[in-house]
Amino acid sequence: MRNTSNAYAKINISLDIIGKMPDGYHELETIMQTVSLHDEISIECLPGNGVSVSTGVPYIPDDERNIAAKAANAFFRHTQISGYKTQITIKKNIPVCAGLGGGSADAACVFRMLNKMFDVGLSTETLETLGNSVGSDVPFCIEGGTKLARGRGEILTNLTPIVHSDIVICKPAFLCSTQKLFARVNCGKIRGRPDTAGLIKAFDEKDLGGVARRMYNVFEEVLPYGKRQDVEAIRNTLLESGALGAIMTGSGPTVFGLFDSKDNAENAFDRLKEEYEECYLAATVNGLPGK
């Protein structure tokens, strides 16, 4: 039994940190959007036991530490299906440790694929619950689209789909530790916060410019100074090239810009590609193709 599918990245149109919850996790309020940049996943289930993952990327674990393997094991535990050796092969196109939810997208895709392969008919809500057990962004990635996420990211509200937008995605050559950035956050001293209500209104009114003007990510405030300069340099190039708005996604370091002109997006991509290796042209996706 074999199947293939795509795992789509996400961007954070906004990201706010409200405070800490009783369990010690930070409470988030973020608007997430699926984009066309995607990994390619193949799953083969044969008689036997165990789950293994192959990515071809040396520093990504290929055993049960991999979030895609965690998703498969969670699915099999929940459904009580056994007796299969499961090989997951992932062609990585989404940058790793980039704030684009690549691992979460892979895990969500594994849940959807196994649900279809074994024809068990688990609901979207059940898959999202299972997804939350393996990663905070996985519930969003189960269905994708345009959503407001609260809590750790598992409390989801559908929003009016975003107007189609071309996107340029650029990852600078440094990594951001999500844990270290959270440690730098003082919720009482955050200088700016996203206008979430204004963003939702702009979505409802199909006002892409209004969405772009209100994009904000509080993690940018706690970046170390040198890294903040790198993010600003990419943002400035995107805006100079005609982006309606540009911010860092997730805990970074990737920066994206929203465009209403494909020509402007391609120009921005060409400019950034001269300096940065990991640059991508993409577009918004409303609903997951072939889900």
CATH topology of domain 166-283: Alpha-Beta Plaits (3.30.70)
Give 28's DSSP letter.
E
Predicted pLDDT at 103: 96
* Class (C level, CATH) for 2-158: alpha beta
| Known catalytic residue at 137 | yes
3-class DSSP state of 87: strand
Residue in 39, 137, 147, 227 annotated catalytic:
137
Find all residues with CB under 8 Å of 55, minimum gap 6, and list them.
62, 66, 89, 90, 91, 92
- Indicate the helix (H) or strand (E) that contains 114: helix 102-117
| Known catalytic residue at 201 | no
Predicted pLDDT at 23: 83
Predicted pLDDT at 3: 95
**What does each of the 291 residues of the chain score in pLDDT, given as a tens digit?**
999 999 999 999 999 999 888 887 889 999 999 999 999 999 999 999 999 999 989 889 988 899 999 999 999 999 999 999 999 999 999 999 999 999 999 999 999 999 999 999 999 999 999 999 999 999 999 999 999 999 999 999 999 999 999 999 999 988 777 788 888 887 777 888 999 999 999 999 999 999 999 999 999 998 988 889 999 999 999 999 999 999 999 999 999 999 999 999 999 999 999 999 999 999 999 877 655
Predicted pLDDT at 224: 87
pTM, two decimals, is 0.95
**Taking the alpha carbons of 55, 56, 60, 63 in that order, is the dihedral positive or negative?**
positive
36, 6 Cβ separation under 8 angstroms? no
Residue in 10, 70, 147, 171 annotated catalytic:
10
What are the residue boundaries of the structural domains of the chain, listed by start? 2-158, 166-283
The alpha carbon of residue 169 and the mean position of all alpha carbons in its chain are separated, in whole angstroms, by: 12
Give 95's DSSP letter.
P
